Amino acid sequence: MKAKKILQAFYYAGRGLWVVAQQERNMKIHLVVTVAVLMMTLYYSLEGWELAWIILSTFLVLSAEMFNSAVEAVVDRCGEDYHPLAALAKDAAAGAVLLLALQALIAGIVVFAPKILVLWR
């Protein structure tokens, strides 16, 4: 029975990923950027720490977007009337995504800029 429960948990988690990827515009943007970044990791020779930093940054942004989508869904489910706490919850979740996206951008610049600049010299 435990194996079945574990498989169900993976099924629901996968379904959550799929639904968010299908329905949320920002997740689609993050996924396109992720594919581009992962292609760059294949093109450039990255050291272990560089690859780890890029992968960690990417997964943090995608995870934050999943949490943001969950917060938005719960807040929207609670009602359509404006409430300052509902706005705060949505804005804070979006702000977390923004912070991690900026961190990922910085990681990308630190890792890829020196490699790209070598090609221009």
32-42 pLDDT, tens digit per residue, is 999 999 999 99
pLDDT at 1: 65
Which secondary-structure segment (H or E) carries 78?
helix 48-78
**Structure confidence by residue, pLDDT tens digits, 80-116:** 899 999 999 999 999 999 999 999 999 999 999 999 9
Residue 57 lies in a domain: yes
Q: What is the CATH classification number for the domain harbouring 59? A: 1.10.287.3610
Residue 54 lies in a domain: yes
Q: Name the pLDDT band for 120 (thresholds 50, 70, 90).
A: confident
Phi-psi region of 116 (alpha: psi -120 to 50; beta: other; left: phi over 0): alpha
Residue 40 lies in a domain: yes
Q: Is 12 annotated as a binding residue?
A: yes
Domain containing 50 equals 25-120
Query: Domain total for the chain?
Result: 1
Spot the catalytic one: 47, 50, 65, 80. 65
Residue 65 among the catalytic residues: yes
Residue 73 lies in a domain: yes
